[in-house]
Amino acid sequence: MAFHRRARQDWTIGSIVKVGFIDGLEVIGKVPTPGDYMPDFYVLFRASTKTIYRFVPHNGLTRVNSLQEAVAW
């Protein structure tokens, strides 16, 4: 049995990614978090449901009500 590496996703703005079981998420922003030892987070948009999310790698996906709420930390 051959070992297959998991495909890496492209997290550049404009890319479509999948987080957990939610697919079709467009990366619309990346917010750097220098100095707090947390990973940078991403603002994602799902067009099919018109929903905005904030995604912090290793910490999870959070649904937010607005773009302003997504970028506020």
pLDDT tens figures, 46-58? 999 999 999 998 8
Residue 5 lies in a domain: no
As a whole number of angstroms, the distance between CA 58 and CA 50 comes to 24
Residues facing 29 on adjacent strands: 43
Looking at the structure of the chain, the number of domains it has is 1
Residue 54 lies in a domain: yes
- pTM of this prediction? 0.83
Residue 61 lies in a domain: yes
Per the structure, the complete domain to which residue 54 belongs is given by 16-71
**Higher-scoring residue by pLDDT: 5, 25:** 25
Residue 35 lies in a domain: yes
